[in-house]
Amino acid sequence: MQRAAIYARYSDEEQRATSIDDQIRRTREHAIALGYEVVDELIFSDAAVSGQSYALSKRVGYARLMKAWDNKEFDALVVDEVSRLARGPMELAKLEDRIEHSGVRLVTTNGVDSNIPNWQFQYAVLGAAAAQFVRDTRHRVIRGMIGQLERGYMIASPPFGYKCIREGGEHSGGTRWEIFEEEAIWVRKIFDWRQNGMALGGIAQQMNQAGIHCPRKPRKEAIAYWRPGTVRQMLHNHIYKGEFVWNGSARIKAKNKRENKPLNAEIVYERPHLRLVSDEIWTVCNKSRFSRSGRSSSKHLFSGLVTCGVCSATLSVATSGSAPALICAQCGQAGRVGVPNRKGSYVSTAGTKEVLLYVLKQQFTQAHIDAFRDRLRKRLEGHNENELGEIKMSIARLSVSVQPIHLSLPAKLMQSSCFFMKGTLDGYSTHA
């Protein structure tokens, strides 16, 4: 009995988590009605993840579906609708090509069936509608967010030093920020420390030793802690001088640069009641204090290839000491800012290279090398006769075409070249 895979997805945390259960129920019933077997191992899902291309790396269930597809573990794929698979035109086009070349049947509960002739037209129309829905939603969201800012409300989670106050009902009003004095005291201290010349790492260490919680959520570590980058990002925030800048975040600017998009115009919304420091202090704390010009652009052999066994961060190559070494900048930074049981460590690149060479020698013995050379020799010499014959015929035709009674100098050179090439190829054929 042929087997069918099922994929379900809903977009964000505001939608009901039961949406996946409803999708799986409908698609299972549809697959069984078509005569397919559905096993639990072939049911894949992603919760609170967008269907756009930028979120593809976060869709773990989708990645498992693609792997099962590559392994030919099912004969049909059943989804509630095309938009559950993807909303981006590029990913939808890749899926269409995959369906056409893999022989897997695509079925949706709203009528798409790749076994029906010209199914691509309906698929393309629904895919275009899904992509347009994303664009329309983005337009409406941005319009609503700017409207809230114009009305004096705020649109994001408050940064360190503020708290969020909800006004109005669930579908009216908005959120405002208020100064949270318990944290605002530390904001002023951070700006004061920086104004007086304290390094970012020193500020982070002061905050960690004082036991002040970090505003940034932890990544791989069990607990979050203050880093120099956390302090730098905080100092750059315009809200501390009473301004909210639309399109002003470093994340948005970096994203636009990465995607080669033009930078959007910044819009400044005054919020004087949220000011914690003066314009002068904010400017002094954000002056560039050193230049990064003159950095070496060369790339070491092990750059980006070795990870830390403690925090799994990629090791950096340090060349300033007596010999190049691999160091964990994350662990070193954590130790400097006061995180317990974390200290910087290093390993010699020369030692790493020797270990790698030893492993390679154990894996690639002389017998393996000889076998590879033998296969390469056979490949180079075993199937070139037809190609050599075609080249010889081309040379013969070319040499005939350049034999008029009065040969010019270029023609003589061409003829000589043809005879030389023909002789060389004949010698190669005899030797082979």
> Two tokens at 288?
């560039």
Does domain 162-285 match CATH 3.40.50?
no
Q: What is the mean pLDDT of residues 235-258?
A: 86
Rg of the chain over all Cα atoms, to the nearest angstrom: 32
* CA atoms of 354 and 348, how far apart (whole Å): 10
Residue 380 CA, chain-centre distance (Å), reads 40
* CA atoms of 316 and 346, how far apart (whole Å): 9
* CA atoms of 340 and 208, how far apart (whole Å): 10
Q: Which helix (H) or strand (E) is 234 found in, with range?
A: helix 228-235
* CA atoms of 234 and 255, how far apart (whole Å): 19
DSSP state of 247: T
Residue whose pair of structure tokens reads 């900048």 in the numeric block: 329
Relative orientation angle of helices 228-235 and 181-195, to the nearest 10 degrees = 100
φ, ψ at 42 (rounded to 5°): -110, 25
Nearest to 83 by CA among 42, 28, 155, 132: 132
* CA atoms of 184 and 42, how far apart (whole Å): 52
Nearest to 319 by CA among 339, 342, 299: 299
Cα dihedral 11→12→15→18 (10° resolution) = 70
| Sheet hosting strand 4-9, strand order edge to edge | 43-46, 4-9, 76-79, 105-108
Q: What pLDDT is recorded for position 321?
A: 61
4-137 and 162-285: identical CATH topology? no
Q: Which helix (H) or strand (E) is 221 found in, with range?
A: none
Q: Is the pLDDT of residue 293 over 60?
A: no
pLDDT band at 248 (very low <50, low <70, confident <90, very high): confident
Q: What pLDDT is recorded for position 312?
A: 76
Residue whose pair of structure tokens reads 């693609």 in the numeric block: 66
Q: What is the pLDDT of residues 35-94, one digit of tens each?
A: 999 999 999 999 988 878 777 888 999 999 999 999 999 999 999 999 999 988 899 999
What is the residue extent of each domain of the chain? 4-137, 162-285, 384-431
Extended strands (E) in 123-204? 162-167, 174-179
| pTM for the full predicted model | 0.59
Contacts of residue 338, defined as CB under 8 A and 6 or more positions apart, other chains included, come to 205, 208, 209, 225
Q: What pLDDT is recorded for position 291?
A: 41
Which region among 11-20, 110-119, 412-421 has the lowest average model confidence (pLDDT)?
412-421
Q: Which helix (H) or strand (E) is 76 found in, with range?
A: strand 76-79
Q: What is the pLDDT of residues 163-198, one digit of tens each?
A: 999 987 666 789 999 999 999 999 999 999 999 999
Number of residues that this document lists for the chain: 432
Q: What is the pLDDT of residues 327-358, one digit of tens each?
A: 887 787 777 777 877 777 777 888 888 888 88
* CA atoms of 23 and 7, how far apart (whole Å): 8
The angle at the Cα of 333, spanning 327 to 335, to the nearest 5 degrees, equals 100
Q: Is the pLDDT of residue 297 over 80?
A: no
End-to-end CA distance of the chain: 54
Q: What pLDDT is recorded for position 16?
A: 62
Return the CATH superfamily for domain 4-137.
Resolvase, N-terminal catalytic domain (3.40.50.1390)
Residue whose pair of structure tokens reads 């006004």 in the numeric block: 167
Contacts for 95-104 with beta carbons within 8 Å, 24 or more apart? 96/120, 96/123, 96/124, 98/69, 102/69, 102/72, 104/69, 104/74, 104/75, 104/76, 104/77
Q: Is the pLDDT of residue 431 over 60?
A: no
* CA atoms of 15 and 50, how far apart (whole Å): 12
* CA atoms of 242 and 179, how far apart (whole Å): 11
Written as one letter, the residue type at 294 is G
> Two tokens at 346?
């290093």
> Two tokens at 24?
């799986």
